[in-house]
Amino acid sequence: MLVLLRIIVFCTLLLYSNASEIDVNGYLAYCPCMGRFGNQADHFLGALAFSKALNRTLILPPWVEYRKGEIRSTQVPFDTYFQVEPLQEFHRVILMADFMMHIAPKIWPENKRISFCYMERKTLSPNKSPKPDCHAKDGNPFGPFWDTYNISFVDSVFYSPLNFDIHHRAMATKWQEKYPPTEWPVIPFTGAPASFPVQAENRDLHRYLRWSNIYEDMMRTFIKNNLPRGAFIGIHLRNGIDWVRACEHVRDSQQLFASPQCLGYNNERGSLYFDLCLPSKELIIRQIKRLIKSVKQSNPTNEIRSIFVAADANHMITELNTALSRMNVTAHKLYNDDPHLDLAILGMANHFIGNCVSSFSAFVKRERDVKGLPSYFWAYPKEKERQHARTHEEL
């Protein structure tokens, strides 16, 4: 018992010493204040690449969530969903709570906390100073995010014309020269220092984003206890009213949200069309049936036995079970809404069909890419183009 106690004390001291060690190269903080989880995950990969290029420790922000009935956003600690250790294989990181407890009091006094933004952010508050400012805490989630850690700012810095594209034009060197860590030990951005959607060069960083042990366990337990033995297809459906309205912009756009993941960043693999954003129920069922038949032909010993559905509104469980009953395939979903568990399960499916335009689907696609697992998109390529290609192959 005494030996065990000594081990626990030693590990605690080791963790404390690591959290208390100051990085002389400086730190980078930001508010993940644009969009929901899918957008924040895209931004995170860009911020991780940016912090490494500047050789600053990345302060891992909490995930910003919006819950029904609550006016202010909720901040969920980063390690609730993801492990910290794998990220350290790529670059130095520290949880925001640990930074504020152990590091901030030593290098970032309250009277030196200056927010960074590209240009002045306007404010609707009549009591604000007319002086140009980032107004880093104006609005939701900006205010609740920084308030979670009792952070306020005494001034602002406008970093224009610098940007976050560290893969071109020696941008990292320009940042280091203009804002050296000796003068700026902490650079806190009002928003993520990254582009949306995630830059192509940063997609592979998803390999360092691994689910927490809790979510790994929940994912494996659900698959074991709820899905029939055999292979399963994971599908992601976007059909809520907000998404339907967003898809109306397809007709006037070359790209929308995460669409570069299938169309290419320069539309080199096609142009945007409505079914890509909002496929019909009939199209969804046809595509699932085609995949089930294709898998059976190519690998009859590992036939598809079930479909796992993640959706923002209609999971189509009844429609899918009716349509797939003769194929001996059943559709399933979580009993209680948990989008992060949805993501973890989709990442483990034998096959995945997602929405090309959705950043939620994009998260799954990146995870599966680094695992070497197959993924597809609804209505891509177009059914007429697919039929033409098949005819061409037969000829």
- CATH code: domain of residue 78: 3.40.50.11340
148, 171, 202 — which closes off a domain? 202
The answer on 373 and 276 residing in a single domain is: yes
Report pLDDT for 205.
98
Is the pLDDT confidence value at 389 over 70?
no
Residue 11 forms part of a structural domain: no
154, 181, 202 — which closes off a domain? 202
Are the C-beta atoms of 263 and 255 separated by less than 8 Å? yes
Residue 3 forms part of a structural domain: no
What is the Cα 20 distance to its own chain's centre?
28
The answer on 333 and 306 residing in a single domain is: yes
Percent of the chain exceeding pLDDT 90 equals: 86
Return the structure tokens found at 20: 């208390």
Would you say how long the chain is, in residues? 395
Return the structure tokens found at 313: 């509104």
- The whole-angstrom separation of Cα 126 and Cα 128 is 6
Are the C-beta atoms of 53 and 130 separated by less than 8 Å? no
- The continuous run of DSSP H or E covering 304 comes out as strand 304-311
Coil, strand or helix: which one is 62? Answer: coil
Q: What is the pLDDT of residues 108-129, one digit of tens each?
A: 999 999 999 999 988 777 666 6
Q: What is the mean pLDDT of residues 22-50?
A: 97
The answer on 261 and 153 residing in a single domain is: no
The answer on 186 and 46 residing in a single domain is: yes
Are the C-beta atoms of 233 and 378 separated by less than 8 Å? no
151, 182, 202 — which closes off a domain? 202
The answer on 183 and 59 residing in a single domain is: yes
The answer for residues whose C-beta is within 8 angstroms of residue 346's C-beta and 6 or more apart is 234, 236, 308, 310, 352, 354, 364
Q: What is the pLDDT of residues 302-318, one digit of tens each?
A: 899 999 999 999 999 99
Question: What predicted TM-score, i.e. pTM, was given to this entire model?
Answer: 0.91
The answer on 215 and 198 residing in a single domain is: no
- The whole-angstrom separation of Cα 168 and Cα 183 is 25
The answer on 296 and 193 residing in a single domain is: no
Q: Mean pLDDT of all residues in the chain?
A: 92
Q: How many domains does the chain have?
A: 2
Return the structure tokens found at 252: 């006037």
Query: Which band of pLDDT confidence, cut at 50, 70 and 90, is reported for residue 130?
Result: confident
Report pLDDT for 391.
36
- Residue whose C-alpha is closest to residue 53's, from 163, 160, 176: 176
Is the pLDDT confidence value at 277 over 70?
yes
For 253-266, give the DSSP string.
-S--TTTHHHH-TT
Percent of the chain exceeding pLDDT 70 equals: 91
Following CA atoms 213, 215, 218, 221 in sequence, which dihedral angle do they give, to the nearest 10 degrees? -60
Q: Which of 108-112, 265-269, 320-324, 381-385 has the lowest mean pLDDT?
A: 381-385
The answer on 297 and 272 residing in a single domain is: yes
Q: Which of the two residues, 299 and 184, has the higher pLDDT score? A: 184
State the residue range of the domain holding 216: 211-394
Q: What is the pLDDT of residues 61-102, one digit of tens each?
A: 999 999 988 999 999 999 999 999 999 999 999 999 999 999
The answer for residues whose C-beta is within 8 angstroms of residue 296's C-beta and 6 or more apart is 303, 304
Q: What is the mean pLDDT of residues 205-229?
A: 98
The answer on 189 and 106 residing in a single domain is: yes
The answer on 124 and 84 residing in a single domain is: yes
Strand partners, 187: 28
The CATH number of the domain holding residue 223 is 3.40.50.11350
